[in-house]
Structures are given as C-alpha cells and as structure tokens.
Amino acid sequence: MESRSHAGAVPSTLTRHQLLDEQGVVAEDPLLSPYAADITVEELQHLYRSMTLARRVDEEGTSLQRQGQLVLWVPLRGQEAAQVGSVWPTHPSDRIYPSYREHAVAFERGVPPAELMRYFRGLSAGGWDPEQYNLNPYTVVLGSQTLHAVGYAMGASLDRKAAEDSGSPLDGDPEAVIAYFGDGASTEGEVHEAMVFAASYDAPVLFFIQNNQWAISVPFATQSRVPLATRAAGYGFEGLRVDGNDILGVVAATRYALEKLRRGEGPVLIEAETYRMGAHTTADDPTKYREREEEDQWGHLDPIERLRVHLRTVHCVDQAFFDTVAAENDAVARQMRADVLAMSPPEFVDRFDGVYAEPHSLVAAERAEYLDYQAGFVAQDDSQDSDSEGVGA
Amino acid sequence: MSKLTVAKAITAGLARAMEENPKVMLLGEDIGSLGGVYRVTEGLKARFGAHRVLDTPLGEAGIVGTAVGLAVRGYRPVCEIQFDGFTFPAFNQITTQVAKLRARTEGRLSVPMTIRIPYGGVIGSVEHHSESPEALFAHTAGLRILTPSNAQDAYWMEQQAIACDDPVIIFEPKRRYWLKGEVDEENSPGDPFAAAVIHEGTDATVVAWGPMVPVALAAAKAAEEDGRSVEVIDLRSLSPIDFDTVTASVRRTGRLVIAHEAPTFGGLGGEIAARVTERAFYSLEAPVLRVGAYHLPYPPAAVEDHYIPDLDRVLEALDRSFAY
C-alpha cells in the first residue's frame, strides 16, 4: 500500500524482493532466486499444508474465543507465508524468539495447537516447553525479546569460540537465532538497543520483521517514513525487504540470511511486507480505523491463494490434494477444540512453585498462608452443612 | 584473612567467581579498560579477557536484556549499572522479563543473573547519582535483593548471588566503597538472605541496611552513653526479608526504629513496621518508627545532608520511641 507522504521524507531506494508474483508466477531475482531453486513440489506442498493449517487453527481460535472458551485470541490471518517461510529453513538447533502472533512458527516447530492454546485459555503464563521446541515463550511487552535473542546469539558465538580455543570445535553448522517482531514493536527503544548490541558483538541473529501495516490502530506511516529494512544500514548490517506474502521469497531471503549468520557475517534484518487481514486481537475492531477497500486490496494478495494457484498451474497439483489438506486441517482443528475444552484449570497453589528456583522464605510463608485460608473455607462449609443438617433434624 | 575496602572485596569476590566458573562474565559500561567508574572491576578484563568482561555500548536495557539471553544460554552474567539513577532504562527488562521469565515458563527457564547497582547518597554528586530505589524492586516477585554493608559480606554476597539460580540485584553502598574491613576468604558468612544482629542490646532495636549500617552502629554507641542498650540488625537481604530475626529482636527489646536512605513513604521500612506490628504487637512498648528521606527528588549535593537521615535523626527517633 502507498505510504502517507511526509514533508521532507527521503524516498527509500531499497529493492523489494519477490519470487512468486501476485499471479503465482515465479519471477527472477538476482539475489534470491538461487536460494529457492532447489525447492521441490513436495516441499511446496508441505509449506502449503503448514500455511493452511495455521489459518484453520486461527479460525478455530477466533471461534473458541467468541464462544467464551479462550480469554483472548490473536489472529494471524494474512501472515502465514511470512511466518512459515521464515521458520521452515531453520535448523532445530536454531533458537527462535517469537513475539505473540507467531502461531504458524510455533506449529512448524512442532508445538501442538492445543498446547499453544493453554496460554490463550488462561491456563498457563507461557504454554509450551521452550527447551523442547527451542522456542522462547511469547513476549507481550513488545520488543523485549529482541534483546534476549541477541544475548542468546552472543552466547552461541561464545560457546563456539570456547570450543575452538579448547581444541575440540563443535560439530555441525553454527547456530543462528531469529527474533520476530512487527512494525509496531520496531519503534520500541529496546529494539534499537538490540540492533546496536547485535552489531557490536556480531551476533548471529536474524531480526525478522513482519510488517503487517498496522500497530493495532496506528498505520505504518506513523511508525516509519521508510521501509524498516532501511534501518539496518544505520546499524551497519544488511537489511532485506521482501514481499511477505510470497512464500518463495520469504524462504529464499531467510536461507540467504541464515547462511550469512552461520558464516559469522551477522546480524541481518528482513522486513517481510505483509498484512494483518484480521483484527489485532479478538478485543479489537478494525472498522474503527481502516477502510474496507484497503482490506480488499490486500485480500487479493493472499499468500495462501498465491501458493495454491502456483501449485495448480505450474506444478499441476490436482484438486484432490487441496481437498485432502483441508480435511486434515479440519480434523486437527476439531481435535484441538476437543483438547482445549477438556483442559482443566491449574491449581493456584502451584503458582508459588514456579517463581524462584531456590527456596524463598516469603513465598513459602504465603503459600502456607494461602493453604491455611483455603482449609478454613472447607471447615466452614462443613460446619454450615452440619448446622443445616441439625436444623433439618 | 585480608583487610580490604568494600570495593576491593567486591573485585576479589567477582574474580573468584570468574576463576571458579568459566561461564561467569561481566557486562557494563566502562567496566573493562577503565575498570568501572568506581574501579570495582579494575584488572578483571586484563586477567580474564575481553570476551568475559564486556565494555558494552551505552544502554542499560541492552545490558540487562542481553544478559537474560546469555543466562538462558547457560552463562552467569553479572551486569553493572553505572549509577542507581540509570537503572530505569532497564526497569522494563528487570521487572517484566528478568523477574517473570521463570514463572512464565512454569519453572522451565531460569535466569541466573546478577545486577550490581551502586546506590545511595552523600557522595556530593549531581542528580541521578545518589538514589535508593530498592523498594521498587523488592515489590516485584521473582527478584532477590542483597545489600552488603561491609567488606566481608561484599566479598561473599557477589559470589553467592552469582551462584544463585535466581536473578539477584546487589545494591552496593557506594559511599562505603572505601570502608575497610576484614575478609575471611575461607569461611562464608552463610545464608546471604538472613539478617544479622551485629550489635546486641536490650532496650530498642534499630534495623538498617547497606550504607546506613555504620550510622545505626554509631547511634547504638551514642545511646550507650545515655545508658540505653540498643540492638542493631543489618538486614543484608531486602528480598526476601528475614522477618524472623527482626521479630525475635523486637520481642526482646519492645522498640523498633527502621532507618534507610530511601524516602520514608512507600519505603521498605513501612513493610517491616507492618510485619513486626502483626507479629509482635503485644511486645511493642512504642509504635514502630521510621527514619528515611523526605518525599522529594534527591536534592542538590549542597543540601543532601538535610535529606539523608544521619546519626542525629536516628537518635531523635530512638528518643521518641523511649518517650512512650
């Protein structure tokens, strides 16, 4: 979409990379084409499956919230290519730091949809096991996780250097770290510090920005005069601007960035230009701040539809495949719904155990106080029962 | 045994922690080549290397936030915040991330990191260099807070904080950096989260911490000349607070004065007063009294001695307590 004009704004000359155009036709891009050349049709079908699964679960999430089964849901509709395309090329050993809309990233990392819903059902403060999936929990204070990603990446480099110095270098590719955030978070001061520190210590971190054009109700033009990828140059590292609704472009840009990081030439920033087709959250009402025409325009750029057309017209994938995927996704969504509805609330008393790693006198005392208080209720209920029985007798 | 200043005891404590665990690393502004603005980290970069003593870019959120990632990665980062008043750019990281990451992951991720903050006034400096913000952090679950008042505690608390699997803030009493004391490198003083009765007495208890401990001791000595026997407790840990030691003392003495450099309103003195009143109401001969700074921003250096409680204000509070 066109940016609003700013008096005195200097136009950006940054190339916008694209491999799969709006008609599903592959375009040549001198930088990125080599990074998508070997993608097989089976892999494209996997990407399609992942993107559509995320959208199906997303729809189920909105329904569950509307039915009072989730405390909140954060729709990702429209951002499937940006998310799946950026996480698919990673190694399991690469640490991922999501923001809070990265459901497709989490699913691609193996997090079962129902496990992710624990957070949105108000049962858990985090959801999945971060070590199992090498995926940090969601971070709601915008941009804070970018610094953690940089520190983690600094640690990965230090580990590798220490192993080399000790004469027993680590096997395998050097690790890379991805920090996800959006155009809204990009204006947070901590994101600036993350980029400064990443540059100072050559941290192998990919800053992956999903520019979905809206920070709740504030349009991108208020966040920045220029594409966000432009900012990387100011920190002295490479910034790539890519069509975020183009799955091939996102995969290729991410592969290119990860290679650089593994060569020790990081950090890298990718800005994937996409669109939040739904509301910010289920508590939001986009009709208050944006036009239907804009939503329709972006609707024509739907990342899933683009890949579907590509698969059908270029790779002759038949309708049976799409039908099967849809049926499979429905089954996953149904199972997820059943699992969510079957979840029982946690015991409040367990909250006292998760705060400190080592014994803590105040927490121990308050835990005992809480249990005493609860025990008092039980005793009172019993006595009331016996009283009423007494009256009855 | 060595006789060291508080500052050099901290240096020695950090050095020993770095010797014993290769994962311990220091991050901060000007801590490497310069050795820190108070020279607390002097010599450590030369000894352990630039990869373990990081002269970071200027950015407190950056220092603390990257340390979170390093800690999760398996390192034991020690952050230095240059002055108390510069902690606030990192306030978000400390309160929403450092403190909460373990709870958010239901105990799956720990954040074993240390944040060193030189704090307190009476150093004749400009604004933002003399503050005592400990209550702001004590109010946040997930953090631990230590504050040494002498060289022995300074030496050991740094090592104990670094070894702790929870995030620990160490408020270092910067006006006592040059206070000398014996350091026993062989024998640890034990639990860092326990308060210490450092001067026994029978008529009243004074609780203090960090830079106010020598003031409280001086008050006890002065009161002795008036025939009053005053017990002094060095609180040592501000989160958690060892209420048992304080309560036990008040049960014996019947009177309590709490003295801190931070403003009285909303300060930790109020929390201690409330707890002691709840626990030892029938032992109290007088209301619990607090001596702290006024509800004002830290004043210009020329008048700071009116703001920070001194010996006379502690004695005056003791007099008021005895008058009941």
User: pLDDT-based confidence at A381, cuts 50/70/90?
Assistant: low
- Look at the domain B196-322 and name its fold: Rossmann fold (3.40.50)
**CA pair distance A170, B239, nearest whole angstrom:** 40
Please check the confidence at residue A304 and state whether its pLDDT lies above 60: yes
CB contact (8 A) between residue B66 and residue A154: yes
Mean pLDDT over all residues of chain A? 94
The residue ranges of every structural domain in chain B are 2-183, 196-322
| pLDDT tens digits along B49-81 | 999 999 999 999 999 999 999 999 999 999 999
pTM for the predicted model, two decimal places? 0.95
CB contact (8 A) between residue A137 and residue B105: yes
User: pLDDT-based confidence at A382, cuts 50/70/90?
Assistant: low
With contact defined as beta carbons under 8 Å apart, do B83 and B55 qualify? no
For A16-342, which CATH superfamily applies? Answer: Thiamin diphosphate (ThDP)-binding fold, Pyr/PP domains (3.40.50.970)
CB contact (8 A) between residue B107 and residue A357: yes
- Name which of A99, A119, A134, A152 to mutate to probe chain B: the one with the most chain B Cβ atoms within 10 A of its Cβ: A152
Q: By the CB < 8 Å criterion, does B115 face chain A?
A: no
CA neighbor of B269 nearest in space, from B279, B281, B256? B256
Chain B positions in Cβ-Cβ contact with residue A356 (cut-off 8 Å): 102, 142, 144, 166
Chain A positions in Cβ-Cβ contact with residue B166 (cut-off 8 Å): 356-358, 360
CB contact (8 A) between residue B65 and residue A161: no
b vs e for A163-172, b when ≥16 Cβ sit within 10 Å of the residue's Cβ? eeeeeeeeee
- Name which of B53, B93, B106 to mutate to probe chain A: the one with the most chain A Cβ atoms within 10 A of its Cβ: B106
| pLDDT tens digits along B21-50 | 999 999 999 999 999 999 999 999 999 999
When CB atoms are compared, the residue of A146, A354, A361 closest to B107 is: A354
With contact defined as beta carbons under 8 Å apart, do B279 and B232 qualify? no
Q: By the CB < 8 Å criterion, does A128 face chain B?
A: no
The residue ranges of every structural domain in chain A are 16-342, 348-392
Q: By the CB < 8 Å criterion, does B274 face chain A?
A: no
Chain A positions in Cβ-Cβ contact with residue B193 (cut-off 8 Å): 361
Sequence-separated (6 or more) residues with CB below 8 Å from residue A55? A76, A77, A80, A304
Mean pLDDT over all residues of chain B? 97
CB contact (8 A) between residue B62 and residue A194: yes
Mean pLDDT of the region B267-296: 98
CA neighbor of A257 nearest in space, from A247, A246, A243, A271? A271
**CA pair distance A367, B123, nearest whole angstrom:** 42
pLDDT of residue A53: 98
User: pLDDT-based confidence at A393, cuts 50/70/90?
Assistant: very low
b vs e for B226-257, b when ≥16 Cβ sit within 10 Å of the residue's Cβ? eebebbbbbbbbbbbbbbebbbbbbeebbbbb
CB contact (8 A) between residue B66 and residue A197: yes
Tokens, residue A124: 């858990």
- DSSP for A30-41 reads TTTGGGTTT--H
Sequence-separated (6 or more) residues with CB below 8 Å from residue B210? B119, B120, B147, B148, B149, B171, B172, B173, B176, B261
Please check the confidence at residue A383 and state whether its pLDDT lies above 90: no
pLDDT of residue A384: 53
Chain B positions in Cβ-Cβ contact with residue A363 (cut-off 8 Å): 141, 240
ipTM of the modeled complex: 0.96
| pLDDT tens digits along B188-244 | 999 999 999 999 999 999 999 999 999 999 999 999 999 999 999 999 999 999 999
Mean pLDDT of the region A190-201: 98
The C-alpha of A181 sits at a distance from chain B's nearest C-alpha, in angstroms, of 16
B129 an active-site residue?
Answer: yes
- Name which of A140, A161, A190, A349 to mutate to probe chain B: the one with the most chain B Cβ atoms within 10 A of its Cβ: A190
Mean pLDDT of the region B1-8: 96
pLDDT of residue A392: 38
Please check the confidence at residue A37 and state whether its pLDDT lies above 90: yes
Which amino acid would we find at residue A222? T
With contact defined as beta carbons under 8 Å apart, do A240 and A40 qualify? no
Chain A positions in Cβ-Cβ contact with residue B160 (cut-off 8 Å): none
Q: Which of B129, B199, B260, B306 is catalytic?
A: B129
Indicate the class that CATH gives domain B2-183.
alpha beta
pLDDT of residue A255: 98
pLDDT of residue A249: 98
- Name which of B73, B96, B271 to mutate to probe chain A: the one with the most chain A Cβ atoms within 10 A of its Cβ: B73
Cis amide prior to B240 (ω within 30 degrees): yes
A276 an active-site residue?
Answer: yes
The C-alpha of A292 sits at a distance from chain B's nearest C-alpha, in angstroms, of 37
pLDDT of residue A262: 97
- The answer to whether domain B2-183 and domain B196-322 are alike in fold is yes
| pLDDT tens digits along A342-354 | 999 999 999 999 9
A310 an active-site residue?
Answer: no
Chain B positions in Cβ-Cβ contact with residue A136 (cut-off 8 Å): 72
Please check the confidence at residue A8 and state whether its pLDDT lies above 90: no
Q: By the CB < 8 Å criterion, does A153 face chain B?
A: yes
3-state helix, strand, coil in chain A (%, to 5): 50, 10, 40
